[in-house]
Amino acid sequence: MEPDNRVRCPSCGEHKRAEDFVRNRATKTGRGAYCKPCHNRIGRANREKHHGSTRAFWLKRRYGVEAVQVEWMILRQGGLCAVCGRRPAVHVDHDHGTGLVRGILCFNCNRGLGKLREDPGLMRAAIGYLEGTI
């Protein structure tokens, strides 16, 4: 055991408190081998090495699409949001029921769909309210 119950990180060589290491239920100690900063650095490097970028990793993991597919969708949309057509398309929109990607939206349109819970009835009610017909 290290002095003051400290653990040595094999990556940076520093002795740190157990709380400075990531949690890992699979180990006897309940902590990972690397301290949090080293764990994050190693994870980022692996994502970039195996997937090209952290964004590409998350696109594949969350939505099952490759970064090139997202870029192709953005090009098909003329670089603009699939809903408003005014702002840059940067956020992947997907159907929460099926998990399928529908298009690429701007922040505001993506947020708006989410706030209305992707419910067409709520969206129609909002349109009626805005047009003064309700």
Express each pLDDT in 21-77 by its tens digit: 999 999 999 999 999 999 999 999 999 999 999 999 999 999 999 999 999 999 999
pLDDT confidence of residue 134: 63
Percent of the chain with pLDDT over 70: 96
Has residue 2 got a pLDDT over 70?
A: no
Average pLDDT over residues 121-133: 93
pLDDT of residue 1: 43
Q: pTM for the full model?
A: 0.73
Cα separations in angstroms, 101 against 6, 24, 37, 46, 96:
47, 32, 33, 26, 9
What residue ranges define each of the domains in the chain, with the CATH number in brackets?
3-45 (3.30.60), 66-131 (3.40.1800.10)
- 74 Cβ contact partners less than 8 Å away, ≥ 6 residues apart: 89, 104
First to last CA, the chain: 71
Question: Which residues, other chains included, contact 38 with Cβ-Cβ below 8 Å and sequence gap of 6+?
Answer: 9, 11, 12
Mean pLDDT of 70-88: 98
pLDDT value at position 23?
97
**Mean per-residue pLDDT for 96-103?**
94
Among residues 51, 87, 55, the alpha carbon closest in space to that of 71 is found at 55
Give the pLDDT of residue 61: 95
Question: What is the average pLDDT score of the chain?
Answer: 94
